[in-house]
Structure 1
Amino acid sequence: MSVFLLVLFLILMFLGIPIAASLGISVVAAVLFFTDVPLSLVVQSMFSSMNSFLLVSVPLFILAGLIMEEGGVADRLFGFAQSLVGWMTGGLGHVNVIASLIFAGMAGSSVADIAGTGRMQINAMVKKGYPLGYSAALTLITAMLASIIPPSILMIVAASTAGVSIGAALMGGLVPGIIISIIFMIFNHYYSKKHEYGIREKFDWNYFKRETITSMPALLAPVVLLWGILSGIFTPTEAAAICVLYTLIISVFIYRKLSFKQLPGLMLKTANMSGTILFIAVTAKAASWVFEYDGLPSRIAAVIGDISESPTIIMLVLFVFLLIVGMFMDATAAIFILVPILMPAIIAVGIDPVYFVVFMVVALSFGLVTPPVGVCLYATSNITGLSIERLSRDSMPWFGVTMVALLILIFIPQIITVPLTWFNL
């Protein structure tokens, strides 16, 4: 029954039917053909999956990202990053990484990062002598960070699906995100120096001081969010609401780039984006019910247990599997489908469930920037005019660097797990 559901789902998806509809049709067909279970039970399962206070954070963080995109917050963050590292070798490449890292700490969405800072970053790099292909590739790959650094929407979705602490999962992505950013900056320095990209400038203390003061309201947002979640003062959902309120205040009253007249349009856009994610969640919950009914998780656990007794070997196998899945399936859908299947096996072989959730999100985030279905790939192609083929070719060195970073997380899992002990998570 599970095989029938998955095969039918893949066929419908590749025929161009939306993911949520493909999954819903597959679930209904599997239940009708293989069981005598009333469909009303499936409907109840779908409803219960949405009756969650935690998932309220998803539309709230999406709204916060849209407010930052329209409210001038992204411009301020880019200016601060440029004053901080723009004078180095490969300076604007470093600015690209730092700006995406800070924006990630507020938006939680890779697509929002491309939309909010992408065009500005690429145009600035091209004006300073960087090739368009290199600028676009770097902007594309740094968009990954928004799905790793808290408050990542994908991390919230994965943690709630896996039944692990959302706060722990969010914080689990912080150090890997910073390390991946450093790796990107090291490679950018090497590549820019080798090919003599960019224009070297002197560090301007007055410029740095001015940009720091101007961007301080925006820079405080991720600090407030992390402090509140770590200290337990507010939950991730409450943090999302605070983030919306805070970004709205600074966008309207401090930077004055947003008016209240724009809010209905932003809310409508939020509803459209949230509806897509949550509709997938609804149908995926029903699919999970079918998998459990069919006993698929226990079978997968047995297969994984037979592969090896070494958690490292198992993670390497899952690494390859997740990369392939991420290339061909939406990350949100993959999380909802795979977590209920893989989690029992992960626990059975002794792998930390929070570690696996974080690693899974990082690996699937890679699929957001790779062909053939990476949404960030298409978004970057759209704002640059570069073809998917050209952009993918220019991004190949960055794909290799990212895979090395992912392998580091497998061989040194303490990068994810140890920081959690510092905060008692």
Structure 2
Amino acid sequence: MDKLLADPAFWMLLLFLAPLLLRVPVAVSLGGAALAVCVHWNLGYQMVSYNFFAGIAKFPLLAIPFFILAGVIMEKAGIAERIIDLIDELVGSATGGLALATVGVATFWGAVSGSGPATVAALGLILIPGMAAAGYDKPFATAVVSVASGLAIVIPPSIAFIVYGDIMQQSVGALFAAGVLPGIVVALFLMGAVYLISRRRNYRGKPRTSTAALWRAFVRSLWGLFTPVIILGGIYGGIFTPTEAASVAVFYGLFVGVFIYRTITFRTLYEILSATVLSTAVVMLVVTCAGLFSWVGSAVGLIDKAANLLLGVSSSPLVVLLMINLILLFAGMLLDAISIFYVFLPILMPIIAHFGWDPVWFGVVMTINLAIGQVTPPVAVNLYVGANISGLTMEELTPPALPLIAASVLALAVVSLVPSLSTWLPSVLGLYGSP
């Protein structure tokens, strides 16, 4: 017992978990635990300020504020509303048409936003009232928007992939390409669950008005439809890097909002910049504190002990992979995605190397885990945003969300067991090892 109490790794874990259970913000819990252990065990607290700066002073991370800014611009420009109108016309009166359209729009919006909560906010204000007016159960409508919006961190461009690529020193372009097919797989599983529920409850969309209305909706949404083509086409075509693509997305969104749709004014621009600064500050604070936690954790042996514990359970890669998935799913109930990357990836690096797993494939598997975590109570950030928009409680949203979460877990199993779903596209595009 005395040996355990003298172990800095034990105290670091305790000082992190105790405040977290008392609802202290994640960044404060991570940074506070690391700083306390660093000072008490004299690990070189003079390096803390440098570690803070070095944690965010990285070129790939510059894409995060730009993609956040681009997502807010696209929302304020009215692109989401026009794309929703197009999908609505396409599905017509099919069984579960609006719910299926919601999954489709969320999948598409993931190629614009890169953030789950931002996608819920952008789509929920339009889709939740629209589905409720069409006869859909409001909790079910909110659950569909919230769960499907988790795709935003799997479908490229993805802030989660940017963070993962920075930590693992992997090509962000390769990770973006790797997320395309798995993201579609998750969307198909969600659509299957949505269709079965809608058929049982006899949910239907509204009849298509006319071919002319469909054409008008297509023309109105054309500029928005070009957004992922420009961003992803430029990356995969070697025209610009993911970081440069983020800045291109900002200017494209401004051009469409100011000159084409004319929905962005000086007042709107102020709101856009305010929302971007707030979101970026939250993300970067977590990045710096989680980076400090990883650094101190490595110095006190917490990382090695946790990795050896996992490797000591079984020599079977499938068993270890199952355990990792379960741990990540549980962690997603308590922590945000970026914190999980910084806390768990240093532990998982030796395991990835031990089994010779492809780090790009593993990044996709881990990111899908975190996407599910965004809708898994108690810390279900997507569900909280959906609850705020719809005026419902978490207790009302959790039951209709459970079948959709189960469908997502089945999709995760498929992606975990079939690595080629993640590795095929980046291999074809020659993105392995690219900057």
TM-score bucket (shorter structure): over 0.9
Tell me the residue number matched to 1:78: 84
Tell me the residue number matched to 1:213: 219
Contact 1:300 1:345 in 2 (8 A): no
Map 1:91-106; keep pairs closer than 5 Å.
Answer: 91-106=97-112
Give the CA deviation at 1:388: 0.5
Give the CA deviation at 1:364: 1.1
Letter in 2 for 1:371: P
C-alpha distance in 1 between matches for 2:138 and 2:272: 31
1:64 matched to 2:70: yes
The TM-score normalised by the length of structure 1 is 0.96
Map 1:25-424; keep pairs closer than 5 Å.
Answer: 25-34=32-41, 36-199=42-205, 201-202=207-208, 204-424=210-430
- Report the identity percentage: 34
C-alpha distance in 2 between matches for 1:65 and 1:126: 26
Determine helix, strand or coil for the equivalent of 1:106: coil
Contact 1:72 1:257 in 2 (8 A): yes
Tell me the residue number matched to 1:18: 25
C-alpha distance in 1 between matches for 2:199 and 2:212: 27
| Cα distance per residue 1:107-141 (max 9 Å; x no partner) | 11111111111121111111111111211111111
| Cα distance per residue 1:259-292 (max 9 Å; x no partner) | 1332233212211111111111111111111122
Q: 11, 14, 32: which one pairs with 1:7?
A: 14
C-alpha distance in 1 between matches for 2:83 and 2:181: 20
Tell me the residue number matched to 2:4: none
C-alpha distance in 2 between matches for 1:20 and 1:246: 33
C-alpha distance in 2 between matches for 1:361 and 1:25: 26
Give the CA deviation at 1:199: 4.3
| Cα distance per residue 1:180-227 (max 9 Å; x no partner) | 111222222222122211246358432222211111111001011111
C-alpha distance in 1 between matches for 2:301 and 2:236: 37
Determine helix, strand or coil for the equivalent of 1:139: helix
Letter in 2 for 1:331: A
Determine helix, strand or coil for the equivalent of 1:232: coil
C-alpha distance in 2 between matches for 1:72 and 1:16: 36
Determine helix, strand or coil for the equivalent of 1:107: coil
Letter in 1 for 2:147: I
The TM-score normalised by the length of structure 2 is 0.94
Contact 2:89 2:208 in 1 (8 A): no
Q: Which moved more, 1:317-326 or 1:38-47?
A: 38-47
Aligned-residue RMSD, C-alpha: 1.6
C-alpha distance in 1 between matches for 2:43 and 2:70: 42
Tell me the residue number matched to 2:5: none
C-alpha distance in 2 between matches for 1:3 and 1:424: 44
Q: Which moved more, 1:360-369 or 1:302-311?
A: 302-311
Letter in 2 for 1:378: Y
Letter in 1 for 2:269: L
| Cα distance per residue 1:226-281 (max 9 Å; x no partner) | 11111221111101000011011101111111113322332122111111111111
Q: Which moved more, 1:216-225 or 1:398-407?
A: 398-407
Contact 2:94 2:204 in 1 (8 A): no
C-alpha distance in 2 between matches for 1:24 and 1:80: 46
Give the CA deviation at 1:92: 0.4
Q: Which moved more, 1:318-327 or 1:259-268?
A: 259-268
Determine helix, strand or coil for the equivalent of 2:392: coil
Determine helix, strand or coil for the equivalent of 2:395: helix
Letter in 1 for 2:226: L
Contact 1:355 1:416 in 2 (8 A): yes
Q: Which moved more, 1:241-250 or 1:410-419?
A: 410-419
Determine helix, strand or coil for the equivalent of 1:408: helix
Determine helix, strand or coil for the equivalent of 2:111: helix
C-alpha distance in 2 between matches for 1:4 and 1:59: 34
Give the CA deviation at 1:42: 2.5
